Amino acid sequence: MDRETMIERVKAEMPERRWRHTEGVMSTAMQLAERYGEDPARAELAAILHDVAKFWPVDRQAKVIRDNRLQLDVLEYDKELWHASVGAWVAEHDYGVSDAEVLDAIRYHTSGRRGMTKLEKIVWLADYIEPGRDFPGVDAVRALSQEHLEKAMIAAFDGTIGFLIAKGKRIYPLTIEARNGLIEEIG
Ligand code: DGI
Ligand code: FE
Ligand code: FE
Ligand code: FE
């Protein structure tokens, strides 16, 4: 599928505001890719599709996870996590994406995981810092993102994990693993 057709189809899956977020993730991911030596085209592709399933009804998301035996354990955690697994499946099956690393960047764009590839890190961080985001601590993460990819991500995970704790929510184990792994990486 060509880029323009893909963009038109993804746009039709979501409200205008969420499409603007996606455009922010696309440009931010390309900038980070250039800075940290990853392919901007692959970063952009993952960004275009990362939230493709975000506005699907949750029962439709759960059905894709169950029917295709994706990360079944995610169903026991916050529904906000589900669209990432579903998005990777949709990217592969409805949009013909075959690049396994692009699919993983979509699959782990919310939770993160231990041992993320550079492409996964870039998409995960771009999602957090794109220009439309406005939450406590985001400017500090934006500044760090220009200096050190992993340190910026640790600061961002601290923010997300703190937010989940403040709301009394459970934390998906891959998120804890992601942060532990990044701290080990920077040694
Ligand atoms: O889809 P977006 O809004 O662009 O961003 P996202 O896919 O990163 O989703 C972030 C939301 O997911 C955020 O409000 C926190 C929520 N969430 C719920 N449980 C977890 C979680 N995020 C992480 N990283 N880990 C969790 O266990
Ligand atoms: Fe998302
Ligand atoms: Fe995120
Ligand atoms: Fe997003």
Could you report the per-residue pLDDT of 44-62, keeping only the tens digit for each?
999 999 999 999 999 999 9
Q: Would 175 be classed as within a structural domain?
A: no
pLDDT for residue 117: 98
Q: Report ipTM (2 d.p.).
A: 0.96
**Residues at CB less than 6 angstroms from ligand 1:** 21, 51, 54, 77-78, 80-81, 84, 109-111, 127, 160, 164, 171-172, 175
Q: Pick from 75, 110, 111, 113 the residue to mutate for probing ligand 1's pocket: most ligand atoms within 8 Å of its CB.
A: 110
Q: Pick from 22, 58, 81 the residue to mutate for probing ligand 1's pocket: most ligand atoms within 8 Å of its CB.
A: 81
pLDDT for residue 34: 98
Q: Would 89 be classed as within a structural domain?
A: yes
Q: Would 96 be classed as within a structural domain?
A: yes
pLDDT for residue 82: 98
Q: Would 173 be classed as within a structural domain?
A: no
**Three-state secondary structure readout of the chain:** CCHHHHHHHHHCCCCHHHHHHHHHHHHHHHHHHHHHCCCHHHHHHHHHHCCCCCCCCHHHHHHHHHHCCCCHHHHHCCHHHHHHHHHHHHHHHCCCCCCHHHHHHHHCCCCCCCCCCHHHHHHHHHHHHCCCCCCCCHHHHHHHHCCCHHHHHHHHHHHHHHHHHHCCCCCCHHHHHHHHHHHHHHC
What mean pLDDT value characterizes the chain? 97
Q: Would 80 be classed as within a structural domain?
A: yes
pLDDT for residue 178: 98
Q: Which residues of the chain have pLDDT under 50?
A: none
Host domain of residue 123: 3-135
27: CATH: 1.10.3210.10
pLDDT for residue 176: 98
Q: Would 179 be classed as within a structural domain?
A: no
Model confidence pLDDT, tens digit, residues 70-91: 999 999 999 999 999 999 999 9
Q: Would 26 be classed as within a structural domain?
A: yes
Give the number of domains in the chain: 1
Among protein residues, the one whose CA lies closest to atom 15 of ligand 1: 160
pLDDT for residue 102: 98
